[in-house]
Amino acid sequence: MNLRAYQNSAIVLFFALLMVGAMLFKGMVSKEVRVEREKMAQELAQIEQIVQLQHLWRDKSILKKLKRLEKFGTASTRKWSLRGKKLVATYTSLSAKSVNRLINKILNLAVQIERLELKKEGEMYRLEFVCKW
């Protein structure tokens, strides 16, 4: 066997395989970099959203809007507890129409709802609402 005759071909084949391996490696690395960039962009968008929500929650008018809910219903059907930045409200003997109106008002507020519990008691409803901001 004469290896000298195939020496140039073997060198070309070796470097061709090396180039193919390098291209595959580059493709894998670029895909990982692209995925990492997309992940970072998504995390940045989440951070921006959190900052926007923090600005909303610092708003002083939220407390005024929450106090409007205190006037909803009669005093005998309402139990209201506001401590710091946490509200616990319980409304009893509500009709379906007033429940819908109250829930719409609650959901339009910029607060973090911890619990929103609705129970039907005969023809009337009982709503328990806990939120913080």
25 in Cβ contact with 32 (< 8 Å): no
Q: What are 16-68's pLDDT values in tens digits? A: 999 999 999 999 999 999 999 999 999 999 999 999 888 877 777 888 888 88
End-to-end CA distance of the chain: 84
d(Cα 66, Cα 89) in Å, to the nearest integer?
Answer: 10
Q: Is the pTM of this model over 0.85?
A: no
Pick the CATH number of 61-132 from 3.40.50, 2.30.30, 1.10.3470, 3.30.1360: 3.30.1360
Rounded Cα distance between 107 and 129, Å, is 11
Q: What is the pLDDT of residues 5-15, one digit of tens each?
A: 788 899 999 99
Sequence spans of domains, the chain? 1-58, 61-132
